[in-house]
Amino acid sequence: MTTVPKRRTALGAIAAAFSISGARAQGAWPSRPVRMVVPFPPGGLADSVARPLAARLTTVFGQPFVVDNRPGAGGNLGAEQVAKSEPDGHTLLVGSLGPLAVNAWLFPSLPFDPRAFAPVSLLIETPKVVVVNPSRPWRSLEELTAAARAAPGRLSAGSAGNGSSLHIALELYKRAAGVDVTHVPYRGAAVAITDLVGGRLDFIIDNVPNILAQIRAGAVRPLATATEARLPQLPEVPTTAEAGLPGLRFGTWFGLVAPPGTPAAVTERLAAAVDAALRDPEIGGRLAEQGAVPGGGTPEAFGRFMEAERAKLEPVVRGSGMRAD
């Protein structure tokens, strides 16, 4: 009569011990330095958010968060490293639109599944703006579109390379406006901007943080932002909807993800800390001044955001036949 209760008591004690042990293990994270892999060269947009965020997370969690640039293959090399890392929260990916959404259709195959990453948080969105060389006659997006329709294939638009977000933005514009424009791919946005300023290109659709300094200096003329509302940094520039192309809304984004199988307790703690950091004027305010839109939110919200982006962009990438360099 006493055997069963004793057995149940023993099993309960064992279960409680495991529960306490698990709680301590989760509570101990991070127990060593955390590597934040940026799959792009130093100095780019990903670095602009990763480095101040790493410094803040180091303070919050009491362990070093170290930015590790691992560029190559449009972000795929760094993403592969993280995808194959231990899912213990000590390796993270500062991913982007490329490896987390569109590279699956730009490359013949990927050594990882973009959908398998554990989402943490959206970091920033970088809206796009249509800019032209000031020597060109167009002073509105309507005028640029009319010129493109009048001379199919004659106007040239640069990008940061085949399959880049600037290329995708151009394809979205061509679809929305029903125009044919010659795409000129470069090895990076900086080279395209140089040729635009020099008059060797007609226009580009670039990330606002990339080109904001040239806009303010008068080196290029902004025609429209591919955003829902006007940007505080460019209040006089109309949106693409105001300019007659309501279907042209697009921006680059960067987000934090972890290896597949990372515990929710870890990603949720990280997301809360990231959200607080991006709301701080010292980090989020500085990013906004540069033309970025700070993100934040829960892992679940970021997961839904990425799925929506994939669904929106898959037909554009596949339909254009674009391939990465």
CATH of the domain at 205: 3.40.190.10
Which of 172, 206, 225 is a domain's end point?
225
Q: Which of 268, 301, 267, 272 is nearest to 88 (CA)?
A: 267
User: What pLDDT was estimated at residue 9?
Assistant: 42
Whether residues 112 and 139 share a domain: the answer is no
Question: Is residue 3's pLDDT more than 60?
Answer: no
Query: Exposed, middle or buried by CB within 10 Å (0-12, 13-18, 19+), for 162?
Result: middle
- Is a pLDDT exceeding 60 seen at residue 88? yes
Q: Taking residues 217-230, what's their average pLDDT?
A: 96
The HSE-up count of residue 17 (CA atoms within 13 Å, CB side) is 6
Number of domains in the chain: 2
- 97 and 175 housed in the same domain: no
CA distance 171 to 178: 10
Res. 142 pLDDT band, cuts 50 70 90: very high
110 and 62, same domain (yes or no): yes
In this prediction, residue 27 carries a pLDDT of 56
Q: How far apart are CA 280 and CA 294, in angstroms?
A: 10
Answer yes or no: are the C-beta atoms of 217 and 189 closer than 8 Å. no
60 and 144 co-located in one domain? no
Compute and round to an integer the Cα radius of gyration of the chain.
Answer: 23
Alpha carbon distance 92, 256 (integer Å): 7
| Residue 2 confidence (pLDDT) above 70 | no
Percent of the chain residues past pLDDT 90, beyond the cut: 83
Clarify whether residues 169 and 203 are in a common domain: yes
Range of the domain at 302: 32-125+252-320
* Predicted pLDDT at 11: 39
3 state SS of 243: coil
Closest CA to 45 of 83, 4, 3, 96: 96
Based on the fold, state whether residues 113 and 133 are members of the same structural domain.
Answer: no
- For the segment 295-323, the average pLDDT, to the nearest whole number, is 94
- Give the tens place of pLDDT for each residue, 226-284: 999 999 999 999 999 999 998 899 999 999 999 999 999 999 999 999 999 999 999 99
The pLDDT of 186-209, averaged and rounded, is: 94
Name the band, by pLDDT with cuts 50, 70 and 90, for residue 21.
Answer: very low
Read off the pLDDT band of 22 (50, 70, 90): very low
What beta strand segments (E) does 54-117 contain? 65-69, 91-96
Tell me, yes or no, whether 217 and 72 share the same domain: no
Q: Is the pLDDT of residue 39 over 90?
A: yes
High-pLDDT (> 70) share of the chain, %: 92
| Residue 75 DSSP code | G
Query: Does a structural domain hold residue 1?
Result: no
List CB contacts of 292: < 8 A, sequence separation 6 or more. 45, 48, 49, 124, 125, 126, 208, 209
Strand partners, 203: 132, 157
User: Are 117 and 148 in the same domain?
Assistant: no
Q: Check the CA dihedral 50-34-114-278 and report its sign.
A: negative
Q: Which conformational region is residue 57 in: left (phi greater than 0), alpha (psi within -120 to 50 degrees), or beta? A: alpha
Distance CA 302, CA 47 (A): 20
Q: With bands split at pLDDT 50, 70 and 90, how would you rate the model's confidence at 4?
A: very low
- To the nearest whole number, what is the mean pLDDT of the chain? 90
* 117 and 256 share one domain: yes
Per-residue pLDDT tens digits for 108-131: 999 999 999 999 999 999 999 999
Mean predicted confidence (pLDDT) in 94-99? 96
Q: Does the structure show a pLDDT above 70 at 158?
A: yes
Given this model, what pLDDT does residue 321 score?
Answer: 87
- Residues 46 and 38 sit within 8 Å (Cβ to Cβ): yes
pLDDT exceeds cutoff 90 at 23: no
CATH, residue 278? 3.40.190.150
For the record, the structure tokens of 250 come out as 């697009």
Does position 149 have pLDDT exceeding 90, yes or no?
Answer: yes
Higher-scoring residue by pLDDT: 218, 21: 218
Instruction: Return d(Cα 149, Cα 322) in angstroms, integer.
Output: 22
User: How far is it, in rounded angstroms, from Cα 24 to Cα 21?
Assistant: 5
Residues 139-147: contacts with CB under 8 Å, at least 24 apart: 139/221, 139/223, 140/223, 140/224, 140/238, 140/243, 141/223, 141/224, 141/238, 141/240, 141/243, 141/244, 141/245, 142/243, 142/244, 144/203, 144/223, 145/177, 145/179, 145/244, 145/245
